[in-house]
Amino acid sequence: MYANASMKKVFGAVQMCAKPLKPLVVVPKKEEKKVVAAAAPAKKAEKVLDNVEALDKSKPTSFNIYDFKTFFVNHKDMKGAAVDEWFKMLDWEGWTFWHFHYEKYGTEGTKLHITNNLMGGFLSRAEHVSKYAFARHGVFGEEPSLEIMGVWLLRGTEMPDGFAKEHP
């Protein structure tokens, strides 16, 4: 890279050092202590997943969310014909729609890039319910009063325990 003529023109001839530099301060390695309390949160996470996965054992449904997502994402007319077909496919007894409105704290919702990061973080923490959900989210409004809102289609007629507890 440094032998390139355009690089030489800007930076001049670059030479590597003959002897590597030694650090000025040597930081001693700290001994890691075993944390026994770390095992407790793992059990909590398993319990939350068990509550959400209990939906598999609930009343059977004719609506297959995976097939629907594949159909919907690949459909040419997502706003028209795909929605009409979706409403025909949906098992209205086994699935419910939920409106989502993010509750802002302090100065949240003032900058667009930070608000988009908040929405992305929320969705990544909700990944464990993707098998039982379909959602659409957006950031609405203008700086400094941005809102995060969305619509969720969830399995069952009530909010799953694992979802409601992790994302109040």
CA 149 remoteness from chain centre: 15
pLDDT tier, 161 (very low <50, low <70, confident <90, very high otherwise): low
Give the CATH fold of the 92-166 domain: Alpha-Beta Plaits (3.30.70)
pTM of the model: 0.59
Q: Residue 37: pLDDT above 60?
A: no
- SS3 of residue 60 by DSSP: coil
Burial class for 109, CB neighbours closer than 10 Å (0-12, 13-18, 19+): buried
Distance, CA of 133 to CA of 156 (rounded, Å)? 10
DSSP-assigned letter for residue 160: -
Q: Residue 39: pLDDT above 50?
A: no
CA 145 remoteness from chain centre: 23
φ/ψ of 105, rounded to 5, equals -120, 135
Per-residue pLDDT tens over the stretch 90-103: 888 888 888 888 88
Q: Which residues contact 84 (CB under 8 A, 6 or more apart)?
A: none
More confident residue, 29 or 60: 60
Predicted confidence at residue 143, as pLDDT, reads: 87
Q: Residue 111: pLDDT above 50?
A: yes
Per-residue pLDDT tens over the stretch 72-88: 888 888 788 888 888 88
Predicted confidence at residue 168, as pLDDT, reads: 56
